[in-house]
Every structure is written in C-alpha cells, then in structure tokens.
Chain A
C-alpha cells in the first residue's frame, strides 16, 4: 500500500484531515442526490431508475435559465425547483401511478425507459459537450480555517443539504402532508378510507422529490461540468447513500452521503484512481455488515 511508503510528516497528516473534511462536504451533495430517491421509496416503494437523469435534467434547466435570463445559478433555483416539482406531479399522475402495484417490475422498467428517453432528449437538445453553470466568485471563494481552507461552495452545498433534510424530516413528522405520506406508505387502502387519494398523495411526493432533485442538479452543475450521460453515476451515488444510511431515514441518508464522500476523497488521496472504487468498497462493506444500513427505519 502506498500509505506505508512515505513517512507521514506534519503537512501530510493535515492532507488526510483535509481529505476527510472535503469528503464530508462532498457528502452533502450526495445526500441531496439521495434525498429525493429516499423520499419516493419511503412513500410509495418506487425505485426510480431515472433519478440520476432527472438530476442532470435539472442541471440543464438551470443552465438554460441562467443563459437566457442571465440569472445567477442560485437564483435559477427559484424557477427550476417549481418547474421540476410540477414535472414530478405530472409524471407521477400521468405515468408512474399506472405502474404501481404488487409487481415491482413495471415501475423499474418504466423508469429505466424514462432514463433512456431523458438521456437521449438531453443529447438531442444540448449535445454531448460537457457544460457548466457559471456561479462567478462563489466557485473559487474559500474560507481559511487554520491551515485548512474550506471552499465556500462545498460548505454552502453541505449547509443546503442539512437544511433540506431537516425540512423534509420536519415535514414528515409535523405536518398534515407528512402524516398523509406516512399513512399512505403504511397502508394505502386504509389511507383511502381517510379520504386520502393515493394518486394525488403520490403525485405530491414526486413533486417534492423532484423539487429536491432540482436543488441537487443545480448544486452539481455549479460544482462540476456535466453532460447527458452522467445521470447513471449520480443515481448510484444516491442509492449508495440511501442504503448506507438505512431505508426511510433522512438523517441516515445524510450520514450515508458523508460516509460515501469521505471514502471517495480518502480513496483518491491514497491513489487518484481509487476515488470511485473506494466509495463502492465502503458501500459493500457496510452492506455486508449491516444489510439494512446503519439506521434503518423500515423493518420489512
């Protein structure tokens, strides 16, 4: 192992601390990828294969809005979040509700098809060239802390992730909508008896999930360049964060994102080629040791 080759000097150990800090902040972005996935799985047991492509779609919508209106990407959230939420509601009511039932295969196939459609649609409209949103000084600004330096953008992303997850958690446990989500998730038939139309409730859940996805897409598009093909990778990161944290637990999803982020940056520190592999290995180890994730809420 390369770690044992070089003697660990003072600045070198600081590099490791830095890797862990950067990984933690990166985990915020992964938690944003995962939150929408976790929400819809929690409410309607739907595994959305197109989730990563929806993140990329949101990034492209952000790009379009910033280009046409000359808005700052963060202000573009004001348009992209409601647009994605509306798209989510229509998508759920128009297509996905029809696939839900005892059989888990139809929603997988349909969202896989949606993934293909989204990728090719984006390719047709925006071409395969990597694009990036311009967030100006925000991209390079940093806060020195001792000998370390925190990028403002990663810190902001992490703070947004914490805020989004806190808001989702609060919504789930302290609002009528959250109560309706939990009741529908528990028992769809009995929820109908309470006057809850599950089709509408599922539509609202997807709207909320894609609203969060819009935030994830914009933060992704500010941070790195993107092209229509990267959705699959974001889906995998989101999945891994959800599974590590435990299904149905939003704070667990944040922890899952952080563990994945740290594994990746520490892996990259050992060897740049190890970045993705280290994340997957961490995921597999946790899956082997705790098949239900670290903090499962759903016991079945």
Chain B
C-alpha cells in the first residue's frame, strides 16, 4: 500500500481547556473519500480544526504527504493543499459572492477549479455573483462555501457538517453534486451527523465517540447495530 496522503497518529487536541481528542489514529489514501461520524461533542469538528491547523497539535501527530504539519498555522496548512468547508459556512460578509470565491483561489494553486467551473457546478451563484454573501439562502451560502474551498484546488478537502441547518431537498442536491466535486483524484473527509448520507458517499468511515475512534471500516459493509453502538456508546 502506498503512503497515505494524510495520517493522524495518536492525535490529541484541545478545545480551549478541555481535551476533545484522545489519541486518534486515522489514514486517508490518495483519492479516498472518508466519512467521520459521531454524535454531538464527539470531537468531529475539533478533528477538522486540528487537521486544518486552526487548532495546533504536536507536529508528528498530523503528517501530510510525508510532512509533519501538526504544528503549522492554518495558512501554512492551506498552502500545502488542504481546504476546509467549515461548519456554519463562515462566509465573509463584507465580500460579494464572487469575491468569496476568488479569495479561495488566492494561493494560486493550479488545478481544474476556476470561477467558471464553480459557476457551471452551481449556476445560481453566477446569477448572484455581485450580491453580498449574507443575502443568499442557507443552501446557496453552502454552495459558496464549497466553491470557495474548491477554488484553492486542494488535494484534500474537508467538509464539516455541510448539511447542518439546511432543508432536506437542498441537502439532497448538495450530496448529488458531491461525486462530481470530489472526483479527479481529490481526497475528502466528510463530517456528517446523517449516517446514511455519510456512508453513501464514502468508501470507509470512522466513528468518533468522546474523542476516540470507536469504530472504523468499509462504508458499504458497515453493520447498523455496530454503528449505533459506536455512535451512542450503548452496550
């Protein structure tokens, strides 16, 4: 097996003074789509923050393409090709829709994603490109957040709770678009509370419970009882 693109070894991370992750081991292969599931407070978002550099850890706890990146700042991690679609979208309210997309590309990494490619994927954004990002609906804002991350042409994209707070029909649309987004050799980590959704788009999954990996395996063959036990911690 070739070296994994991303490798977490015994990752520990803190959410202010509170330890949120206790020795998480995880690997993402090149081109692989991985789902991270788990209940509220299981440490999913902290895991995303630790990988993207928003929360620092010891250098060796996170390796990316063979490089120890755990202690790097988020902007340094971004230059290496990791993009995060953050929970709650976190668009820039002072920037127009188009500016929000453009700022995603400002590291100048080469790849298939450009403004035109994003507008082809989400045509509604082209219509709204000069509007303030906060004037869009939740689903459209999520499209901007996804587009902004893609504009960086990342090798690894992290999706944190992209269906949170959206109408089911919108969630369906976004998940329908995901395979087209992720293709082309990009790897992805998808954090999701909806287990069915998460398993349907991923090859493997990890379940977090109270900051530890409680279960992992192939998404296609995951047994429901095992997952609910790993998810809720009920015996």
Contact = CB atoms under 8 A, between A and B. Distances in A.
Interface of A: 176, 179-180, 182-183, 185-187, 189-198
Q: Give 4 closest A-B pairs by Cβ, nearest first.
A: A192-B74, A195-B78, A182-B94, A195-B107
B106 A196 contact: yes
Nearest to A183: B92
Interface in B67-85: 73-76, 78-79, 83-84
A183 B92 CA distance: 6
Interface stretch (B21-29, B58-66, B95-103, B188-196): B95-103
Q: Which of A180, A192, A195, A196 has the most CB of B within 10 A?
A: A195
B100 to A, nearest CB: 8
Given A193-B74, A193-B84, A179 B102 contact: yes
Contacts of A187: 90, 92
Given A192-B53, A193-B74, A186 B86 contact: no
A192 B148 CA distance: 13
A100 to B, nearest CB: 15
Contact of A194 (B53, B73, B104): B104
B95 A182 contact: yes
B103 A180 contact: yes
B92 A195 contact: no
A195 B75 contact: yes
Contacts of A190: 86, 90, 92
B83 A193 contact: yes
B54 interface: yes
A193 B78 contact: yes
B187 interface: no
B54 A192 contact: yes
Nearest to B100: A183
Given A187-B92, A193-B54, A195-B106, 14 more contacts: A176-B106, A182-B94, A183-B95, A183-B103, A186-B92, A186-B94, A190-B86, A192-B53, A192-B54, A192-B74, A192-B75, A194-B75, A194-B103, A197-B76
B102 A192 contact: no
B52 interface: yes
Nearest to A197: B75
Nearest to B105: A194
Contacts of A189: 54, 74, 90
A182 B99 CA distance: 10
Given A193-B83, A193-B86, A195-B79, A182 B92 contact: yes
Contacts of B94: 182-183, 185-186
B183 interface: no
A180 B78 contact: no
B95 A192 contact: no
Nearest to A201: B75
A171 to B, nearest CB: 14
A94 to B, nearest CB: 18
A39 to B, nearest CB: 14
B152 interface: yes
Contacts of A179: 95, 99, 102-103, 106
B185 interface: no
A193 B90 CA distance: 11
B93 interface: yes
Given A186-B94, A187-B92, A193 B52 contact: yes
Q: Name the residue in A180, A185, A189 with the highest tally of chain B Cβ atoms < 10 Å from its Cβ.
A: A189
A198 B76 CA distance: 11
13 contacts: A180-B103, A182-B92, A182-B95, A189-B74, A189-B90, A192-B75, A193-B54, A193-B83, A195-B78, A195-B106, A195-B152, A197-B73, A197-B75
B152 to A, nearest CB: 7
